[in-house]
């Protein structure tokens, strides 16, 4: 038994070394490394400068690339999807909530619950939360424009490289307003750094 007790740590170390070797071999595969390419070949065929990045990577490799200058996104508030927005029901009979019909039409407004002992004070304070928009937004300076108002999104934040799903084509970027306005729809197409922004 003394021999066993002495040998056990050694056995453990050997196992760890073997495991480390296997893991190193696995993550060293090209699939897990950012793609690189020679961008400046010398006349004799040797490479003077190698460049690595998303532009030289396959879809498998992209996730391993560093992103030195990611595009900047404004802060968004999370909104419920149209079918999950509050409506007035028997168990939830608050004033001011819309009925079931808007849920069928997918046009329910997003309701915000404001509480306070002094109703007039609560109303005047919460009235300042979502600045009303007077003119169509100028998206040339999209960060500035979207920072002066409250943009929102009902997409699920995912671990997508670089991209907030609300800014990918086919998704909606909401502008939170005190009153819904149907004439505010705007289709946007601008470039945020390397990424084209297309909002519809
Ligand atoms: C409620 O707030 C208003 C200011 O918005 C103030 O004038 C009023 O006295 C307050 N009422 C109570 C009952 O505290
Ligand atoms: C948007 O703003 C840019 C400068 O920030 C200006 O050059 C452009 O004319 C504006 N576009 C509109 C439609 O107002
Ligand atoms: C949009 O509708 C609001 C009222 O809901 C109105 O005050 C505003 O002038 C309209 N804007 C345009 C550009 O039609």
Instruction: Tell me the CA–centroid distance for residue 137 and ligand 2, in Å.
Output: 10
Q: Does the pLDDT value for residue 200 go beyond 50? A: no
Q: What whole-number distance in Å separates Cα of residue 65 and Cα of residue 42?
A: 26
Give the pLDDT confidence of 139-149 residue by residue, as tens digits: 777 788 888 88
**Given pLDDT bands bounded at 50, 70 and 90, which one contains residue 109?**
confident
| Average pLDDT of span 10-24 | 93
CA nearest neighbour of 161 among 16, 59, 76, 77: 59
Q: Is the CB of 50 under 6 A from ligand 2?
A: no
CA nearest neighbour of 183 among 117, 143, 133: 133
CA nearest neighbour of 176 among 154, 199, 143, 159: 154
Instruction: Tell me the CA–centroid distance for residue 185 and ligand 2, in Å.
Output: 18
Q: Does the pLDDT value for residue 98 go beyond 80? A: yes
Give the pLDDT confidence of 124-178 residue by residue, as tens digits: 888 888 888 777 777 777 788 888 888 888 887 666 555 677 777 667 788 888 8
């Amino acid at each position: 038994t003394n021999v066993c007790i002495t040998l056990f740590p050694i056995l453990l170390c050997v196992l760890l070394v073997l495991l480390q070797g296997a893991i190193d071999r696995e993550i060293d595969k090209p699939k897990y490394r950012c793609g690189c390419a020679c961008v400046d070949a010398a006349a004799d065929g040797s490479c003077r400068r190698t460049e690595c990045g998303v532009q030289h990577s396959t879809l498998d490799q992209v996730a391993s690339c560093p992103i030195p200058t990611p595009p900047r996104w404004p802060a968004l508030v999370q909104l419920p999807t149209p079918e999950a927005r509050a409506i007035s029901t028997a168990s939830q009979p608050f004033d001011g909530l819309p009925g079931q019909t808007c849920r069928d039409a997918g046009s329910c407004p997003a309701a915000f619950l404001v509480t306070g002992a002094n109703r007039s004070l609560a109303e005047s304070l919460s009235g300042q939360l979502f600045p009303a928009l007077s003119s169509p937004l100028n998206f040339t300076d999209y960060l500035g424009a979207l920072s002066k108002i409250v943009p929102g999104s009902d997409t699920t934040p995912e671990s997508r490289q670089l991209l907030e799903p609300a800014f990918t084509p086919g998704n909606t970027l909401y502008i939170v307003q005190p009153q819904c306005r149907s004439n505010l729809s705007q289709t946007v197409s601008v470039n945020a750094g390397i990424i084209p922004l297309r909002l519809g």
